[in-house]
C-alpha cells in the first residue's frame, strides 16, 4: 500500500505521425482531487484513456496502487476497473436501459447483485445526486443534459470506488447546473474519500473541484501546483490559459 | 501520380490487413459466445429484434420469390412440355438456394446494417468505453448475444421462408396456372428430401454468423460521428451480402461433393 494511488511515468502515445503524449509524468494520492487543465487537442482525453486502460501507451508505465497495469489484461484489469469510477464527457449512458439500470449496471452485470437489491441501491445513489426515485424508471433520452450528467455521476460512484475520473464534467451545461455538478463532485469525492482526476478547461470548475491543478500542453505536464496558486503560477502558458487570453505563447486552435 | 505497382501493392496489403482484423475480431466473438459469462436477457432481446421483427420482411420476400419462380419455371418448362415439374423445382430452388439466400440478403440489409449503426452510435458516444470501464466486456455483453441470437434465429426464419416461398409458388400455380392444389402439394412433399431442407438450414447458420459479425465489426470500428456510423452501416450491409453470396457458392459446391 502506498499513498500514491495512480502514477503515470513517461507515458507516450502517437496516432500515426501525430504524437499526442510526449512523456507524461503525473501521480495522484489517495483522497486527493487533481484537476488537469489544457486546451483542446492537448492530449487530456488520450491521457485519461491510457490511465483507464482503454488505450495502451507506446512508451512509459502506469501504476495503480503500486501495481504496474500498463499492459494489464483479464482479471488484473477487471480488478483495477472495479475500483475506478468514470464520468464521461457525454454522460455515455446506455440508451436502451432505464436510468436505474444504468446506475446499477456494474452491480447487475459485474458484481452479480440481485435485481431488486441493485434497484434499491441505484435509487439510493440517485438520491445522493439529488434525483428522485421517479427518474429511475425513465430512459436517458427522456431527461435533460444536466440530469444525464448527474445519472452518470451516480453510476460512477455506486460501487464506492477508490479513484474517480471526470472528463469535462461541466461541458455543455448552463453555469448554474455546472456549479451544482461541481458541488456534487466535491461532495461525492469528499464523502467517499476517493481520489479524483478531473480534466477540464472550465476554470471555475477547476478552482472549485481541485486540491491541485496541473496543466497539460503539447503532450507534457508543464506545471503543477496547489489550486490556489494557479493564478500566480509564474508560468506564461498557465497564465495565458487561466486568464483566457488569445495573445501569448499558446496559439489559439483556429 | 503514383506508380501503379505501388497502388496495387497498397490495395493488396490493405485487403489482407482488413481480412486479418476481421478474422481476429470474429475469433474473439466466437470465444465470447462459447465461454461464460452469457447474458441471457440480452440474447433473448436480440432474438426478438433479429428474428421476430424480421418476420414480415422475410415472409413478403419469400412469397414473391416463390410466386415468381413458379411462373418462370412454368413459362420455361412449357416450351418442352415439362410444366409438371413446377412443384418439384420450386421446392428444390426454395429450400436449397433461394429461401436461405433471400433471407440472408434481406437480413444483411435489415439486421447487419442495424447492428452496425447501433454499435457505431455507441462507439462515437463513448458508450462502449463506458461499458469497458464498468468491467463488462463488449465482446460478451454486446457482440456475443447478437452472434448467438443470429445463429439461432436465422435457421428459424429460413424454415419459415421455405414454407412461405413454397406457398407462394402454390398460390400462383393453383390460382393462376390451373394446377390442382392436392396434386401440387403431393408432388412438392414427394420430391423434397430432408437433405434439401438441411442444406438450407446449415447455410442459414453460417449466414447468421456472417450477418452478426459484419454488423458488430463495422460498428466497433466506426469513427467520425454520424458520417462514420452511416459508413459502418453501408459497409456491413455490402460486406455481409457479398460474403453471403460467396459462402453460398462454396457451401453449395461442398454439399454437391458430399452428396448433401
**A74 vs chain B: nearest CA distance in angstroms?**
10
Using one digit for the tens of pLDDT, what is the confidence trace for A121-132? 999 999 988 899
A109 and B127 within 8 Å at the Cβ level: the answer is: no
DSSP string, A107-154: HHHTS---HHHHHHHHHHHHHHTT--GGGGGS-GGGS-HHHHHHHHHH
Pick A249 or B184 by higher pLDDT: B184
Q: pLDDT at position B95, please? A: 96
CA distance linking residue A102 with residue B214, whole number of Å: 27
B135 and A88 within 8 Å at the Cβ level: the answer is: no
CA distance linking residue B166 with residue B91, whole number of Å: 6
Residue entry with cell 435485481: A115
CA distance linking residue A35 with residue A41, whole number of Å: 17
Q: Is A84 on the interface with B (CB under 8 A)?
A: yes
Using one digit for the tens of pLDDT, what is the confidence trace for A58-116? 999 999 999 999 999 888 888 899 999 999 988 999 999 999 999 999 999 888 899 99
Q: pLDDT at position A173, please? A: 82
Residue-level length of chain A: 254
A110 and B39 within 8 Å at the Cβ level: the answer is: no
Using a CB-CB cut-off of 8 Å, the residues of chain B touching A49 are 129
Q: Is B130 on the interface with A (CB under 8 A)?
A: yes
Helix pair angle (B194-221, B4-34), 10° resolution: 110
A125 neighbors A103 (Cβ within 8 angstroms): yes
Using one digit for the tens of pLDDT, what is the confidence trace for A184-243? 888 888 888 899 999 998 898 999 999 999 999 999 999 999 999 999 999 999 999 999
Using a CB-CB cut-off of 8 Å, the residues of chain A touching B131 are 94
Q: pLDDT at position A78, please? A: 87
Q: pLDDT at position A1, please? A: 47
- State which CATH number among 3.40.50.300, 1.20.1440.230, 3.40.50.2300, 3.30.360.10 fits the domain covering A1-83+161-168+194-254: 3.40.50.300
A110 and B135 within 8 Å at the Cβ level: the answer is: yes
Series of mean pLDDT values for 10-residue runs along chain B (260 residues)? 86 92 97 94 96 96 97 94 94 96 96 97 93 93 97 98 97 96 96 96 98 97 88 96 97 94
CA distance linking residue B65 with residue B166, whole number of Å: 9
3-state secondary structure at position A238: helix
- The helix (H) or strand (E) run that includes residue A75 is helix A74-81
Chain A's closest residue to B124, CA to CA, is A92
C-alpha R_g of chain A: 18
Instruction: Tell me the three cell numbers of residue B102.
Output: 433471400
Q: Where are the domains of chain A?
A: 1-83+161-168+194-254, 87-158
Which range, of A152-156, A250-254, B177-181, averages the lowest pLDDT? A250-254
A55 neighbors A87 (Cβ within 8 angstroms): no
| Residue A239, burial from CB neighbour count under 10 angstroms (0-12, 13-18, 19+) | middle
B129 and A89 within 8 Å at the Cβ level: the answer is: no
The per-residue b/e assignment along B50-66, b for 16 or more CB within 10 angstroms, e otherwise, is bbeebeebbbebbbebb
Q: pLDDT at position A164, please? A: 94
Instruction: Tell me the three cell numbers of residue B234.
Output: 453501408
Q: pLDDT at position A254, please? A: 62
Chain B's closest residue to A86, CA to CA, is B133
Here the ipTM equals 0.88
- Which one of A64, A72, A94 would you mutate to disrupt binding with B, by most B Cβ within 10 Å of its Cβ? A94
Asked if pLDDT for residue A2 goes beyond 60, the answer is: no
3-state secondary structure at position A235: coil
Q: pLDDT at position B3, please? A: 86
Q: pLDDT at position A253, please? A: 67
A81 and B132 within 8 Å at the Cβ level: the answer is: yes
B127 and A105 within 8 Å at the Cβ level: the answer is: no
Q: pLDDT at position A195, please? A: 93
Residue entry with cell 486540491: A211
Rounded (10°) CA dihedral B94, B100, B104, B105: -20
Residue A155: Cβ within 10 Å count: 30
B130 and A84 within 8 Å at the Cβ level: the answer is: no
Q: What percent of chain A has pLDDT over 70?
A: 98
pTM of the shown model: 0.89
Amino acid at each position: 500500500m502506498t499513498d500514491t494511488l495512480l502514477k503515470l511515468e513517461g507515458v507516450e502515445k502517437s496516432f500515426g505521425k501525430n504524437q499526442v503524449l510526449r512523456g507524461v509524468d503525473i501521480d495522484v494520492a489517495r483522497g486527493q482531487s487533481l484537476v488537469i487543465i489544457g486546451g483542446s487537442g492537448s492530449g487530456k482525453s488520450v491521457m485519461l484513456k491510457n490511465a483507464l486502460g482503454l488505450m495502451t501507451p507506446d512508451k512509459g508505465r502506469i501504476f495503480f496502487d503500486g501495481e504496474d497495469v500498463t499492459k494489464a489484461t483479464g482479471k488484473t484489469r477487471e480488478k483495477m476497473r472495479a475500483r475506478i469510477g468514470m464520468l464521461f464527457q457525454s454522460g455515455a449512458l446506455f440508451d436502451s436501459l432505464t436510468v436505474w439500470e444504468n446506475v446499477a449496471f456494474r452491480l447487475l452485470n459485474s458484481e452479480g447483485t440481485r435485481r431488486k437489491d441493485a434497484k434499491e441501491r441505484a435509487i439510493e445513489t440517485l438520491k445522493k445526486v439529488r434525483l428522485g426515485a421517479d427518474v429511475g424508471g425513465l430512459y436517458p433520452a427522456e431527461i435533460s443534459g444536466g440530469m444525464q450528467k448527474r445519472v452518470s455521476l451516480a453510476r460512477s460512484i455506486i460501487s464506492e470506488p477508490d479513484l474517480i475520473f471526470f472528463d469535462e464534467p461541466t461541458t455543455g451545461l448552463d453555469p448554474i447546473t455546472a456549479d451544482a455538478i461541481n458541488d456534487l463532485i466535491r461532495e461525492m469525492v469528499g464523502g467517499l474519500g476517493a481520489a479524483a482526476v478531473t480534466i477540464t478547461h472550465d476554470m471555475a470548475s477547476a478552482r472549485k473541484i481541485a486540491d491541485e491543478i496541473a496543466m497539460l500542453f503539447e503532450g507534457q505536464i508543464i506545471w503543477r501546483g496547489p489550486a490556489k496558486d494557479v493564478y500566480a503560477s509564474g508560468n506564461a502558458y498557465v497564465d495565458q490559459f487561466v486568464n483566457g487570453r488569445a495573445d501569448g505563447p499558446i496559439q489559439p486552435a483556429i | 501520380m503514383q506508380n501503379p505497382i505501388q497502388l496495387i501493392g497498397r490495395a493488396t496489403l490493405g485487403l489482407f490487413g482488413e481480412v486479418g482484423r476481421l478474422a481476429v475480431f470474429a475469433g474473439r466473438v466466437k470465444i465470447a459466445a462459447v465461454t461464460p459469462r452469457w447474458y441471457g436477457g440480452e440474447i433473448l432481446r436480440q432474438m426478438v429484434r433479429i428474428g421476430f421483427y424480421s418476420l414480415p420482411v422475410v415472409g413478403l420476400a419469400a412469397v414473391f420469390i416463390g410466386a415468381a419462380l413458379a411462373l418462370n419455371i412454368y413459362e420455361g418448362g412449357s416450351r418442352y412440355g415439362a410444366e409438371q415439374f413446377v412443384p418439384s423445382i420450386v421446392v428444390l430452388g426454395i429450400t436449397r438456394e433461394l429461401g436461405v439466400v433471400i433471407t440472408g440478403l434481406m437480413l444483411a440489409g435489415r439486421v447487419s446494417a442495424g447492428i452496425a449503426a447501433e454499435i457505431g452510435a455507441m462507439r462515437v458516444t463513448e458508450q462502449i468505453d463506458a461499458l469497458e470501464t464498468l468491467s463488462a466486456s463488449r465482446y460478451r455483453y454486446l457482440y456475443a448475444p447478437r452472434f448467438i441470437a443470429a445463429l439461432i434465429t436465422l435457421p428459424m426464419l429460413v424454415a419459415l421462408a421455405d414454407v412461405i416461398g413454397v406457398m407462394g409458388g402454390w398460390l400462383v400455380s393453383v390460382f393462376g396456372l390451373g394446377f390442382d392444389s392436392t396434386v401440387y402439394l403431393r408432388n412438392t412433399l414427394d420430391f423434397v428430401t430432408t437433405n434439401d431442407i438441411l442444406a438450407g438450414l446449415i447455410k442459414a447458420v453460417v449466414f447468421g454468423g456472417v450477418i452478426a459479425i459484419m454488423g458488430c465489426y463495422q460498428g466497433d470500428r466506426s469513427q467520425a460521428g454520424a458520417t462514420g456510423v452511416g459508413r459502418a452501416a453501408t459497409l456491413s450491409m455490402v460486406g455481409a451480402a457479398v460474403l453471403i453470396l460467396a459462402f453460398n457458392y462454396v457451401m453449395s459446391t461442398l454439399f454437391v461433393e458430399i452428396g448433401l
